[in-house]
């Protein structure tokens, strides 16, 4: 009986030892595959100085390579077909590759790359430097935890893991990297904008104060904010990235040919003039044709609608230009009432007397808000109100006359042929503000 018990104990001990051994082996394998252990270091996979990039090639499993080359300081796609490259997308790629760190080292010398998906990698990124050196990064399967991907570099026996976001930043193709801009002008060096829309043609340029003005069909004040918004629409005009296949291109060309013209815009900077044509189909989808890039492309309603502007949409509707610069002097005549106000420091004065700041600010606000509701060709009669506002340290002097014809009020700026029809209620409030100006209350006597 004793011998039998001893044999049973030895068998149990052997089974327990075997279980511990295989448990440790399984845990070791799980740690390698599932990354349950914390990494000791984050080794660097690639280190390419930003100024050394010359060529990039990205190939996905079963697909052809997308190749970008740096030519004269500008990235261009050279394969599978010549196209401009998007500067921001290329900058993102080179930034990711210039200093690429791994999460951890999985194996120092991998014997079986297939278990990591690295024999037939999902993505191959080849970097060619200006000195001719090349580095090839291979990205394989996703780790079981779903937070990283296996990777290796040609010539390095190690297998690494890289963060998922790194893989995403490199997982690009021609559609992702091509320049989708329809116009490539430099908005900082823009000198002219021409627009034909709503059956009207106009030309915009900047004056000596760098303010936008309507030059044609005749000189008119332009709304700087509206013009800058128009320029922004032109600068940001892009192809619809969801419709860029060859079949989409054919449909776009047919839709453009049969579409209704919406706008034709021309922009001129130091490099020359670029043109963009916008048309709309019966389903109110917009299509664009640019002088910068070949073909016709579907574009967004934000671009199409943003260029559908007439002259009145871009005219300055404000009667006064002083904007948020507080005036330093105001001369006012409303019928028989006349007054002149000058600012001294933060105080308004008239005839040597200090004026009430609240009523003066109300008058300034009513002048600032005076805006056109229409731009009529006629209607101005005898001036009933004369206003002169001096601002910008005396550099801007604006003289405006207001006349009433029937029930309508019209404004006219000095030396400008344009008329502004203004809201009668706004003029009533202005007249009330003129009449409400009073002297400042005397300071309270000290007890």
- Please check the confidence at residue 148 and state whether its pLDDT lies above 90: yes
Average of per-residue pLDDT values in the chain: 89
Range(s) of the domain holding residue 391: 329-436
Q: Assess whether pLDDT exceeds 90 at residue 359.
A: yes
Is the predicted pLDDT of residue 60 greater than 50, yes or no?
Answer: yes
Q: What is the predicted pLDDT for the residue at 246?
A: 84
Helix or strand run (H / E) with residue 414? none
Q: Does residue 301 share a domain with residue 191?
A: yes
- Tell me how many domains the chain contains: 3
Share of the chain above pLDDT 90, in %: 79
Give the whole-angstrom CA distance, residue 416 versus residue 220. Answer: 8
319 located within any domain: no
pTM as predicted: 0.77
| CA gap 293, 179 in Å, rounded | 9
Query: Do residues 222 and 204 lie in contact, with contact meaning Cβ atoms separated by under 8 Å?
Result: yes
Q: Parallel, antiparallel, or unpaired: how do β-strands 396-405 and 99-101 relate? A: unpaired
Distance CA 173, CA 66 (A): 6
233 within 8 A of 183, measured Cβ to Cβ: no
The residue among 157, 177, 197 that closes a domain is 177
Helix (H) or strand (E) holding 67, with range, is: strand 66-71
- For residues 56 and 171, membership in a common domain is answered with yes
Length of the chain (residues): 447
User: 177, 205, 222: which is the final residue of a domain?
Assistant: 177
Please compute Rg for the chain using Cα positions: 36
Quick one: pLDDT at residue 41? 59
355: region left, alpha or beta (phi > 0 left; psi from -120 to 50 alpha): beta
Query: Is residue 182, in this structure, part of any structural domain at all?
Result: no
- The string of pLDDT tens digits covering residues 151-172 is 999 999 999 999 999 999 999 9
Tell whether 123 is covered by a domain. yes
In a domain, 266, yes or no: yes
Integer CA distances (angstroms), 129 to 49, 94, 132, 373, in order: 9, 11, 5, 61
- Which one of 22-26, 142-146, 233-237 scores highest in mean pLDDT? 233-237
pLDDT band, residue 5 (cuts 50/70/90)? low
Residue of 182, 179, 52, 161 lying closest to 104 (CA atoms):
161
Do 159 and 197 reside in the same domain of the chain? no
pLDDT band at 447 (very low <50, low <70, confident <90, very high): low
- Could you count the other beta carbons within 10 Å of the beta carbon of residue 9? 10
Let me know if residue 14 belongs to a domain.
no
Residue 401 lies in a domain: yes
Residues whose CB is less than 8 angstroms from the CB of residue 22 and which lie 6 or more positions away in sequence, other chains included: none
* Averaged pLDDT, 107-122: 93
Which strands make up the sheet holding 372-374, listed edge to edge? 353-354, 347-350, 337-344, 329-334, 383-391, 396-405, 408-413, 419-422, 372-374
DSSP track, 281-317 = -TT--EEEEESSSSSEEEE-HHHHHHT---HHHHB--
> 288 with 173, same domain?
no
N-term to C-term CA, the chain:
118
Mean pLDDT within 112-141? 95
Structure tokens at 64: 């052809």
Same domain, 293 and 194: yes
**Backbone φ and ψ of 42, nearest 5°:** -120, 90
In a domain, residue 409? The reply is: yes
- Residue 32 in this model has a pLDDT that exceeds 90: no
How many whole angstroms separate alpha carbon 343 and alpha carbon 326? 10
**Whether residue 165 sits in one domain with residue 216:** no
Q: What's the pLDDT tens digit per position in 420-441?
A: 999 999 999 999 999 999 999 9
Is 372 found in the same domain as 289? Answer: no
How does residue 25 score in pLDDT terms, banded at 50, 70 and 90? very low
Q: Where a domain ends, among 147, 177, 207?
A: 177
Instruction: Note whether 80 and 169 are same-domain residues.
Output: yes
Residue 353 has pLDDT above 60, yes or no: yes
**Is residue 5 one of the residues assigned to a domain?**
no
Check if the beta carbon of residue 120 is closer than 8 Å to that of residue 54: no
Kindly state whether residues 282 and 361 are assigned to the same domain. no
pLDDT for 15 equals 46
Say how far residue 229 (Cα) sits from the centre of its chain. Answer: 12
Report the CATH number at residue 127.
2.60.40
- Claim to verify: residue 142 and residue 57 sit in the same structural domain: yes
Residue-wise pLDDT tens digits, 390-419: 999 899 999 999 999 999 999 999 999 899
pLDDT tens, residue by residue, 214-252: 999 999 999 999 999 999 999 999 999 888 788 999 999
Rounded CA-CA distance 277/297 in Å is 11
- Strand ranges of the sheet holding 212-216, from the earlier edge strand across to the other edge: 220-221, 212-216, 200-206, 192-197, 260-269, 272-280, 286-290, 296-299
- Could you tell me if 228 and 129 lie in one domain? no
Do 290 and 358 sit in the same domain of this protein? no
């Amino acid at each position: 009986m004793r011998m039998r018990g001893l044999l049973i104990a030895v068998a149990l001990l052997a089974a327990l030892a075997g279980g511990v051994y295989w448990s440790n082996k399984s845990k070791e394998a799980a740690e390698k595959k599932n990354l349950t252990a914390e990494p000791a270091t984050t080794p660097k996979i690639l280190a390419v100085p930003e100024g050394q990039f010359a060529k990039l090639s990205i190939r996905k499993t079963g697909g052809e390579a997308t190749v970008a080359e740096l030519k004269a300081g500008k990235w261009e796609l050279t394969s599978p077909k010549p196209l401009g490259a998007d500067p921001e997308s290329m900058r993102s790629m080179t930034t990711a590759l210039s200093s690429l760190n791994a999460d951890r080292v999985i194996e120092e010398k991998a014997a079986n790359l297939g278990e990591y998906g690295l024999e037939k990698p999902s993505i191959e990124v080849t970097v060619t430097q200006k000195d001719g050196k090349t580095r090839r990064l291979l990205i394989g399967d996703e780790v079981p935890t779903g937070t990283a991907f296996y990777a290796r570099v040609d010539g390095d026996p190690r297998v690494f893991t890289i963060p998922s976001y790194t893989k995403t930043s490199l997982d690009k193709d021609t559609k992702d990297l091509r320049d989708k801009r329809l116009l490539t002008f430099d908005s900082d060096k823009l000198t002219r904008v021409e627009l034909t829309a709503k059956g009207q043609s106009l030309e915009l340029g900047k004056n000596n104060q760098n303010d936008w003005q309507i030059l044609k069909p005749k000189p008119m004040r332009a709304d700087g904010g509206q013009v800058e918004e128009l320029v922004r629409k032109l600068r940001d005009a892009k192809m619809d990235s969801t419709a860029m296949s060859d079949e989409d291109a054919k449909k776009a060309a047919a839709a453009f040919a049969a579409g209704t013209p919406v706008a034709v815009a021309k922009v001129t900077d130091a490099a020359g003039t670029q043109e963009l044509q916008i048309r709309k189909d019966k389903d109110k989808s917009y299509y664009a044709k640019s002088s910068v890039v070949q073909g016709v492309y579907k574009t967004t309603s934000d671009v199409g609608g943003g260029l559908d502007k007439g002259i009145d949409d871009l005219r300055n509707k404000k009667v006064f230009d002083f904007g948020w610069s507080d005036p330093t002097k105001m001369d006012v005549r409303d019928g028989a009432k006349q007054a002149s106000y000058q600012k001294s420091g933060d105080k308004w004065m008239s005839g040597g007397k200090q004026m009430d700041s609240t009523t003066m600010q109300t008058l300034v606000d009513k002048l600032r808000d005076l805006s056109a509701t229409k731009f009529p060709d006629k209607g101005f009669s005898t001036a009933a109100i004369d206003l002169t506002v001096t601002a910008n340290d005396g550099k801007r002097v604006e003289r405006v006359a207001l006349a009433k014809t029937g029930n309508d009020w019209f404004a006219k700026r000095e030396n400008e042929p344009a008329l502004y029809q203004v809201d009668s209620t706004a003029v009533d409030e202005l007249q009330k503000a003129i009449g409400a100006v009073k002297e400042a209350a005397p300071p309270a006597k000290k007890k």
